[in-house]
């Protein structure tokens, strides 16, 4: 009995000691989730069926690697996953549709950070020239344009050396006036394909026709050159010893026409041989041709002259009556339009008779029997045969150059670095403004804006350019 009580006592004491001990500390380990750092997504190019996205690098903790996933719309499945580069090209897009999406940065622990992007419908591109720093820019034709690429004034890169650096376009190749050279560039990427040295720097616009680039080059003398695009070499040079104001070359019937000083030249397009020349009394800018006659405007006596394309024989002249003349002659549907200081006149190509006139305007654009031009601070649509007004804009604008492209009127104008330039898209039938692309926010001095648009892989040029449509 005593033995039993002892055992109970020992057990009691042992149990009491056990209950009096402090419990061991509980250690809770919390892993803080740190996702990859924020980054910025930029749409650098928007084509008819594609868009190119670039983004800055996202950083993960402990220098872990980061991959990127691209999502379009609300689709939970990425269109591209596990990317290590900082760029991606989206394909099979509808040119008339806008899209939303996101880029997702992901680390090895599947921590993620997303940044959104937005794609506007594709309208095209325009080419802008900064005459202050001499840069040529490709800009998207949208309300908030971006610059896919630009080139500075370098011997081996396209630049704005020429007086009016209007490029030529063939397919996916852009041909640009360079310093003592013509340079070919990939139209989409801006990468230089080749450069051909020329005797002097090309001035005004380049002319592309049937696989050949024609350029008027100015150095100690005038040299018009023909460059075979496939062979990337000069096939002929037409030299002229007198330095003067040269012009864009134009082509008709396998003949190149251009002016220099007081002369109008007709040159064989195949070999550069002189066919004929005429004294034109201080001709202004490029001539124009309808294939039958070649027309040139002259500052000295404020007149338009017409010559036979084949022989150079004089046809007729028309006195505008006021200087200075502000444009080259522009031809459409048997009508010549010329901008003078006090008026814009319309003249018959057949006999030089006056048809109608309006106040001094910007360069015109055409669609069938309709001509579009800006004067009296409005954009006007007129019947080309009668000059009767079809509509005029409600907004006021400065003088500019108009381009009819892909079913719309685009007019291009620039002022100073604080307020322009702009490319405005207008409904052809009503004059309603549909879109304005404003480059003002970029800080460029784009006071010269070449009237060149690329829409759905088709190039459109303003009236000052001699490049074939």
Provide the CATH topology of domain 41-119: Immunoglobulin-like (2.60.40)
Residue 440 — pLDDT band, cuts 50, 70, 90? low
pTM: 0.77
Residue 30 — pLDDT band, cuts 50, 70, 90? low
Provide the CATH topology of domain 125-461: Methylamine Dehydrogenase; Chain H (2.130.10)
| Predicted confidence (pLDDT) at residue 469 exceeds the cutoff of 60 | no
Average pLDDT rounded to a whole number, residues 138-159? 68
Average pLDDT rounded to a whole number, residues 212-218? 89
- Rounded to 5°, the CA angle 308-451-464 comes to 20
12-21, 43-52, 79-88, 332-341: range with lowest mean pLDDT: 12-21
pLDDT digits 0-9 by tens, 393-416: 887 776 778 888 888 898 875 544
| Predicted confidence (pLDDT) at residue 114 exceeds the cutoff of 60 | yes
Question: Any idea where the domains of the chain sit in the sequence?
Answer: 41-119, 125-461
363-to-30, 48, 101, 127, 203 alpha-carbon distances in Å: 71, 28, 41, 17, 20
| Predicted confidence (pLDDT) at residue 335 exceeds the cutoff of 60 | yes
pLDDT at 59: 93
| Predicted confidence (pLDDT) at residue 229 exceeds the cutoff of 90 | yes
Average pLDDT rounded to a whole number, residues 321-331? 82
| Predicted confidence (pLDDT) at residue 120 exceeds the cutoff of 60 | yes
The reply to whether domains 41-119 and 125-461 share a CATH topology is no
């Amino acid at each position: 009995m005593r033995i039993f009580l002892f055992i109970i006592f020992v057990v009691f004491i042992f149990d009491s000691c056990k209950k009096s001990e402090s419990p061991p500390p509980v250690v809770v380990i919390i892993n803080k989730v740190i996702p990859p750092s924020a980054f910025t997504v930029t749409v650098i190019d928007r084509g008819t069926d594609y868009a190119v996205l670039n983004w800055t690098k996202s950083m993960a903790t402990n220098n872990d690697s980061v991959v990127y996933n691209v999502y379009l719309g609300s689709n939970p499945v990425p269109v591209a996953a596990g990317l290590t580069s900082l760029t991606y090209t989206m394909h099979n897009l509808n040119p008339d549709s806008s899209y939303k999406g996101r880029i997702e940065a992901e680390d090895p622990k599947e921590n993620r950070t997303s940044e959104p992007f937005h794609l506007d419908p594709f309208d095209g591109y325009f080419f802008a020239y900064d005459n202050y720093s001499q840069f040529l820019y490709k800009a998207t034709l949208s309300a908030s344009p971006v610059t896919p690429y630009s080139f500075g004034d370098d011997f081996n890169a396209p630049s704005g050396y020429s007086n009016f650096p209007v490029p030529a376009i063939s397919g996916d190749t852009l041909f640009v006036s360079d310093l003592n050279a013509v340079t070919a560039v990939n139209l989409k990427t801006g990468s230089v394909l080749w450069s051909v040295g020329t005797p002097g720097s090309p001035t005004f616009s380049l002319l592309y026709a049937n696989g050949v680039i024609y350029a008027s080059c100015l150095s100690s003398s005038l040299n018009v050159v023909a460059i075979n695009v496939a062979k990337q070499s000069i096939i002929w040079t037409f030299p002229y010893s007198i330095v003067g104001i040269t012009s864009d070359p134009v082509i008709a019937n396998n003949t190149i026409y251009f002016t220099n000083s007081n002369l109008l030249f007709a040159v064989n397009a195949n070999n550069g041989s002189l066919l004929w020349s005429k004294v034109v009394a201080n001709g202004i800018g490029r001539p124009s041709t309808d294939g039958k006659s070649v027309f040139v405007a002259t500052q000295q006596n404020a007149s338009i002259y017409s010559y036979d394309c084949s022989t150079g024989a004089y046809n007729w002249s028309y006195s505008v009556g006021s200087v200075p003349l502000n444009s080259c002659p522009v031809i459409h549907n048997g009508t010549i339009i010329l901008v003078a200081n006090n008026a814009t006149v319309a003249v018959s190509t057949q006999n030089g008779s006056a048809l109608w006139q309006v106040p001094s305007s910007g360069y015109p654009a055409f669609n069938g029997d309709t001509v579009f031009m800006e004067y009296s601070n409005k954009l006007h649509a007129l019947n080309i045969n009668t000059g009767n007004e079809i509509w005029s804009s409600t907004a006021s604008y400065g003088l500019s150059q108009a381009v009819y492209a892909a079913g719309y009127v685009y007019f291009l104008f620039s002022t100073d670095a604080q307020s322009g330039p702009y490319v405005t898209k207008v409904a052809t039938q009503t004059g309603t403004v549909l879109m304005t692309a404003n480059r003002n926010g970029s800080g460029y001095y784009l006071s010269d804006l070449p009237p060149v648009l690329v829409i759905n892989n088709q190039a459109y040029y303003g009236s000052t350019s001699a490049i074939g449509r």
